[in-house]
Amino acid sequence: MIVIHSEEHRLQAGRSELNDGQLVPCYEKPARADIVRARIEAVGIGPIVNPTRHGIAPLERVHDAGYLDFLRTAWDEWVKEHGADIDALPLNWVAPGMSRRRVPRSIDGRLGFYSFDAGTPITAGTWRAATAAADNALTGADRLRAGDRSAFALCRPPGHHAGHAFYGGYCFLNNAAIAAQSLRDGGAARVAVLDVDYHHGNGTQEIFWERGDVLFVSIHADPADEFPYFCGHADETGAGAGDGANLNLTLPWGTDWSGYAQALAAAAARIRDFGADALVLSLGADTYGGDPISRFRLLSEDFLRMGSAIAGIGLPTLFVLEGGYAVDDLGVNVANVLTGFEQG
């Protein structure tokens, strides 16, 4: 299985995020990709290659042009107002009864306009890191199109919370959605995206909400209790041409493999029924019992079982790294999914 990785992930190294009322060191940090790459090399998954640059066009197939412009220029505008010693974080958002009809001129206003949390710092290197992550995913999609059975895009920053025109949850560009669209543009008639991250992939859901050619299935903690809170419920099934092409499988805090496996089997059945030509797998490993910000109870060996179950779906599969913050065990857990898949 080819692995696509760029050293430019290191350029996303936020100083702090707002979490539980305090500014704390970022959980989404460069060490995450380093430990995954080290484990991948140690177990002999590979080869590991650099991404091919794809430019802005594939990003515009998924994201709003004005939003991309904002992301590309936000840091420079921030520095003019606030200096370069503090990361760019929003301070207010659009509440019900307020208007989104106008994009503010102020950088502070635009940070709030385009985001949904204060946990996702924009830094000097964010644009380069985020576009490199998207290139990882696009290069993986190229490999599937060339006939590879699987590929792993070792992406940081992650992407599944990023929507058509918004960022948050440590995500700026939706790597998985960009890859799914690239597979569609490359001739796949139907593509499925399966999101196994602990958190609902609200960005991916929003991007494909009215699309019947891309099925989105997400297994995640119940949003009544868990970030991102405001979507991801089981009654959200898509709209228009996308009606029925969105499946949210919510699970309670404390879920272990026995509960998770049942949801994964239901997800696999739905994907088989859909008749996809390819699968994009949003691989978050924050379902791990040792994850510092999550509340499922999967064990490292369960990720082997997860990989095997994904192989059982029987589609060419592009794995795209999402979350997972138990850094010491992240490499083993992610590599276990890939090993389980290859042995599946």
Ligand X SMILES: NCCCCCC(=O)NO
Query: Shortest Cβ contact with ligand X: which residue?
Result: 323
By beta-carbon proximity to ligand X, the closer residue of 2 and 26 is 26
Which member of 58, 112, 232, 284 binds Zn ion (CB under 5 A)?
284
Q: Which of 142, 197, 226, 291 binds Zn ion (CB under 5 A)?
A: 197
In the complex, least distance from residue 112 CB atom to ligand X, rounded to whole angstroms: 16
Residue 227 partner contact from Zn ion, ligand X, none using kind-dependent CB cut-offs of 5 to 8 Å: ligand X
**Which of ligand X, Zn ion, none binds 157 (CB below 5-8 Å, type-dependent)?**
none
Q: Site for ligand X (CB under 6 A): which residue of 67, 166, 167, 227?
A: 227
Interaction of residue 170 with ligand X, rule CB under 6 A: yes
Smallest separation (angstroms) from ligand X to the CB of 229: 10
CB 193, min distance to ligand X, A: 14
Tell whether residue 157 is a contact of ligand X (CB under 6 A). no
Among 90, 112, 119, 203, binds ligand X (CB under 6 A): 119
Would you call 161 a catalytic residue per the annotation?
Answer: yes
- Min dist. Cβ of residue 161 to ligand X (A): 6
- 118 half-sphere exposure, CB direction, 13 A CA radius: 14
Indicate the residue among 32 and 199 with the shorter CB distance to Zn ion.
199
Taking Cα atoms as reference points, which of 323, 344, 325 lies closest to residue 264? 344
Catalytic residue among 9, 161, 200, 220: 161
Q: Does 156 bind ligand X (CB under 6 A)?
A: no
Contact residues: ligand X, CB under 6 A: 19, 119, 161, 169-170, 197, 199, 227, 284, 286, 293, 322-323
The residues carrying an active-site annotation are 161
